[in-house]
Amino acid sequence: MTDLPTVPATAAKAAPRRAGGRVRVTGTDRIFLILMVAIPTIMVLAWVWLPAIASVVLSFASWTGVGGLDTIKWIGTENYVNVFTNYPPFAPALRHNLIWLAFLFVLPTLFGIFLAVLLDRELRGTRFYQSALFLPVVLSLALIGFIWQLIYSRDQGVLNAVLGTQIDWYGDSRWNLWAVLVAAGWRHTGYIMLLYLAGLKGVDPSLREAAAVDGASPVRTFFSVVFPVMRPINIIIIVVTVIEALRAFDIVWVINKGTNGLELISTLVTANVVGEASRIGFGSALATIMLVISLVFITIFLSTVMRGEQR
Amino acid sequence: MSTATVTRRPTTQAAAAKARRRLTAGRVVLYVFVTLTALAWLFPVVWALLNSFRDYNYTSVHGYVSLGGFTLQNYVNAWEQGEFTRHFLNSLIITVPAVLLTLFLASCVAFVVARFSFRFNLVLLGLFTAANLLPQQALLIPLYRAYREIPLPLWMSDSGQLLDSYWGLILVNTAFQCGFCAFVLSNYMKALPHEMFEAARVDGAGVPTQFFRITLPLCRPALAALATLQVTWIYNEFFWATVLMQSGDKFPITSSLNNLRGQFFTDYNLLSAGSILVAIPVLIVFFVLQKQFVAGLTLGSTKG
């Protein structure tokens, strides 16, 4: 699924320094160690990094995908030129991805952080509140698309009944992106709340006590003391949100395969490959654009995490 | 929901302000706010659950805001029409080996990274974790082509190739999930007491013993949390199964939703029952293994 595995940034800080230093390894132990690293590494290279590189290479080619590799024609940057100038769905798809990102940030991410801060205040029954917000996190986005149909349906949906309207929320291209975003945001809020709450629990309580002694209000304490300390988690949440927006796919695909107002870059790539007319080079150009954007944020993410590692 | 928040909040606030001191008034607002939010969050699932027990003919006459017409027939229909026996079985065939393989391979890498200070450890971990964050669609084209080219003997896959086979799906899920697990496990292993390994080495224990007899048993809590998380994620995996499976009867449950849309979206009680059925495995995780799941997601960050 498109779930983003989140790597805890503060994790490594607790790890004690290794005593000793280099360990000598000989004989069969050596073979064992090499195999233990080599097999998973080869697998990740073969399934992830080689295809990633191949995507970039193929983006400079014209190929129908039928026949051997010798039928590939190299056409330079023509695919990219076509993507930007001669492919009507690209502009809406890019816009939808950006709207997706902006929406996730402004509503679910900030709301999730807000809820985490509220729930961190030792409320009675906090388990119930946390569980309720966490419920959508275990569901797949494809299934969420199904469940929200009960709310969005034109004839029998709750939303139209409440508003007294007759809108087909998933079908009407004026509304469907927003309808889908609310459903996706339902899940994202819980996810961010969980991550942030875990981060808040790790904040040294004496910091907050000190701020309270100095007479700082809770709001002031959060913004001047807690928030800066949470920097690694903040960055992780930003990256998680960006990548989630870029990888959005399941919910849109299950609703209408990413058409009629729900185009996303990810659905365009997929449609260009598994659809009737497979345009390998052109699809790869789209894939490479995704790859480049994501690599920028992955680099930010990894440098944050690794810095934590070395501390 | 939001209208209820607006109308109820000021009255409770005012009442509370009279009854108690200022500080507690704030807390009442807080409680009302989080309670309403929590209820709003539960609503879609509760609504699906309620409707799944309603009779279609009854609700289409009386509307959804009514009582009566309760039935279990929707579940029977959804199960039959969705061929859920087969799809649940497919999910099982893919999820269980994928999770076991992921945890094993990730433990191997994590062990080496945590125990031996090779210079490329950071590089290795970077390679693994970055792999985990790449958008799958960016890798789709070459992988799809390769899957079509790689032959498998017929006893392994009736399609005769890696495309449209359980093997292909198990492997792709494993490759994608390895990174996250390796990272979490290596942090966990680094925190294990170093002296234990010194002692084992003095006793002449080799790498296999250190790994299987000492490290893995000590990692049981982390492995349990990760297993819960991975079962949920791989069960929920949609994209790879959608594009790498071709025959309808091989789809695991989550991606079989693609084909059920046409049938289910016309009868909302059937849709509700079908959704609840698909959600049951993860709802079990939610109710029974919630602690494990959350621990897996936030593992490490709570240790610091």
Distance CA B56, CA B39 (A): 26
pLDDT at A94 over 50: yes
Contact B277, B78 (CB under 8 A): yes
pLDDT band at A109 (very low <50, low <70, confident <90, very high): very high
Looking at residue A275, what is its pLDDT?
Answer: 64
CA neighbor of A104 nearest in space, from A141, A150, A131? A141
Q: Is the pTM of this model over 0.90?
A: no
| Separation in Å, CA of A214 to nearest CA in chain B | 19
* Structure tokens, A182: 């609310």
pLDDT of res. A276: 60
Looking at residue B224, its pLDDT comes to: 92
Query: Both tokens of residue B304?
Result: 């610091």
Q: Where are the alpha helices (DSSP H) in chain A?
A: 27-44, 50-58, 78-85, 90-104, 110-119, 126-134, 141-152, 158-163, 176-201, 205-213, 218-221, 227-229, 231-247, 250-256, 265-274, 280-310
Helix crossing, A141-152 with B22-52: angle to 10°? 90
What confidence score (pLDDT) does residue B43 get? Answer: 94
pLDDT at B152: 85
Asked whether the predicted pLDDT for residue A18 surpasses 50, the reply is no
Stretch A17-21: mean pLDDT:
44
3-state SS assignment for residue B64: coil
Question: H helices within B116-193, ranges in order?
Answer: 121-133, 137-149, 166-190
- Higher local confidence (pLDDT), B33 or A9: B33
Give contacts of A270 with chain B, Cβ < 8 Å: 137, 140, 243
The pLDDT of residue B73? 87
pLDDT tens profile A141-164: 999 999 999 899 887 788 888 888
3-state secondary structure of B166: helix
CATH code of the domain covering residue A234: 1.10.3720.10
* Burial (CB count <10 Å: 0-12, 13-18, 19+), residue A310: exposed
Residue A181 lies in a domain: yes
Cα A168 to Cα A161: distance, rounded to the nearest angstrom: 12
Pick left, alpha or beta for residue B83 (phi over 0 → left; psi -120 to 50 → alpha; otherwise beta): left
Q: Band of the pLDDT at A24, cuts 50, 70, 90?
A: low
Distances (CA, A) of A144 to A140, A208, A212, B242, B257: 6, 39, 42, 17, 11
CA distance B174 to B168: 10
Which residues of chain B does A294 touch, with a Cβ-Cβ cutoff of 8 Å? 133-135, 138
Residue B197 near residue B112, CB atoms below 8 Å: no
Q: Specify the amino acid at residue B289.
A: L
Helix (H, G, I), strand (E, B) or coil at B268: helix
How far CA B63 is from CA of A155, B26, B77, B269, in Å, comes to 10, 40, 21, 12
Which of B124, B123, B134, B149 is CA-nearest to residue B239? B134
CB of A303 within 8 Å of a chain B CB? The answer is no
**Residue range of the domain that includes A100:** 89-278
**Considering only residues 180 to 199 of chain B, which have any Cβ-Cβ distance to chain A shorter than 8 Å?**
180, 182-184, 187, 190-191, 194, 198
> Which residue bears the tokens 């295809």?
A51
Helix, strand or coil, per DSSP, at residue B70: strand
Beta-bridge partners for B70: B54
Say if residue A30's pLDDT is above 70.
yes
3-class secondary-structure state, position A175: coil
Written as six digits, the tokens of B104 are 């094993």
Identify the pLDDT of residue B27.
83
Residue B4: the pLDDT is: 39
Q: Residue A61: which H helix or E strand, with range? A: strand A61-62
| Residues of B whose CB is below 8 A from A41 | 109, 124, 127-128
Rounded mean pLDDT of A228-232? 85
Higher pLDDT, A277 or B163: B163
Task: Report how many domains make up chain A.
Answer: 1
CA distance A270 to chain B (A): 7
pLDDT-derived band at A277, boundaries 50, 70, 90: low
pLDDT value, residue B157: 80
What is residue B119's predicted lDDT score, i.e. its pLDDT? Answer: 63
Question: Is A300 inside a domain boundary?
Answer: no
Query: Residue A249 in contact with residue A2, Cβ under 8 Å?
Result: yes
CA distance B4 to chain A (A): 13
Top-confidence residue, A135 or B205: A135
Query: Does A163 fall in a domain?
Result: yes
* pLDDT, mean of residues A185-204: 90
CB of B175 within 8 Å of a chain A CB? The answer is yes
Torsion-angle region of residue B165: left (phi > 0), alpha (psi -120 to 50) or beta?
beta
The pLDDT score that the predictor gives to residue B63 is 67
Nearest CA in chain A to B184: A7
Spell out, as residue ranges, where chain B has pLDDT lower than 50. Answer: 1-21, 300-304
- Measured in angstroms, the CA of B7 and the nearest CA of chain A are apart by 17
Given a cut of 50, whether residue A8 has pLDDT beyond it is: no
- The DSSP element (H or E) to which A74 belongs, if any, is strand A73-74
User: For residue A202, what pLDDT is reported?
Assistant: 81
Average per-residue pLDDT in chain A? Answer: 84
Q: What is the pLDDT of residue B179?
A: 87
Sequence-distant (6+) residues with CB within 8 A of B124 are A37, A41, B109, B113, B118
Instruction: Count the Cβ atoms, other than its own, within 10 Å of residue A166.
Output: 8
Q: Is residue A154 part of a domain?
A: yes
Residues pairing with B161 in the sheet = B151
How many angstroms separate the Cα of B35 from the Cα of each of A118, A191, B224? 12, 18, 31
DSSP B224-267: HHHHHHHHHHHHH--HHHHHH--SGGG--HHHHHHHHHHHHTT-
In a domain, A291, yes or no: no
Residues with Cβ < 8 Å from A215, sequence gap 6 or more?
none
Q: Name the CATH topology of B85-259+282-298.
A: MetI-like fold (1.10.3720)
Per-residue pLDDT tens digits for A64-92: 777 777 778 888 888 899 889 988 899 99
Residues 6+ apart with CB under 8 A from B55: B69, B70, B71, B73, B74, B269
Kindly write down the DSSP assignment for every residue of B145-164, as one continuous string.
HHHHH-B--TTT-TTSBSTT
Give the pLDDT confidence score for residue A4 in this predicted structure. Answer: 46
Mutate to test the interface with A, among B39, B125, B141, B176 (most CBs of A within 10 A): B141
Q: Do B47 and A6 touch (CB under 8 A)?
A: no
Contacts with A169 (C-beta within 8 Å, 6 or more apart), sequence order: A151, A152, A153, A154, A157, A159, A160, A175, A176, A179
What kind and span of H or E run contains A62? strand A61-62
pLDDT range class, residue A12, cuts 50, 70, 90: very low
Which pLDDT value is given to residue A19? 42
Q: Reduced to 3 states, what is the DSSP secondary structure of residue A73? A: strand
Residue in A221, A236, A165, A226 with CA at minimum distance from that of residue A201: A226
Q: How far apart are CA B212 and CA A297, in angstroms?
A: 37
d(CA B92, CA B237): 12
Q: Which uninterrupted H or E stretch holds B41?
A: helix B22-52
- The pLDDT, as a whole number, for residue B125 is 79
